[in-house]
Amino acid sequence: MSYMARKSFWISCSVLFLLTACYYDNEEELYPDTGGPRSNISYSKDVEPLIRNNCYVCHSDAARLGNVILEGYPKLILYVNDGSLLGSITHDSRWTAMPSGSARLPQSQIDIVRIWIEEGAKNN
Ligand code: HEC
Average pLDDT over residues 89-102: 98
Would 73 be classed as within a structural domain? yes
Would 101 be classed as within a structural domain? yes
Q: Is the pLDDT of residue 89 over 80?
A: yes
Would 70 be classed as within a structural domain? yes
Domains: count for the chain: 1
The count of C-alpha atoms lying within 13 angstroms of the C-alpha of 27, restricted to the half-sphere facing its C-beta, is: 0
Q: Which atom of ligand 1 is nearest to the CA of 66?
A: 14
Would 89 be classed as within a structural domain? yes
Would 33 be classed as within a structural domain? no
Q: Which atom of ligand 1 is nearest to the CA of 95?
A: 26
Would 96 be classed as within a structural domain? yes
- Domain range spanning residue 89? 43-118
Report the separation in Å between the CA atom of 72 and the middle of ligand 1, taken as the mean of its atom positions.
16
Would 13 be classed as within a structural domain? no
Segment 55-77, tens digit of pLDDT? 999 999 999 999 999 999 999 99
Distance (Å) of CA 44 to CA 51, 121, 122: 10, 11, 10
pLDDT of residue 4: 67
Q: Which atom of ligand 1 is nearest to the CA of 50?
A: 38
Report the separation in Å between the CA atom of 1 and the middle of ligand 1, taken as the mean of its atom positions.
64
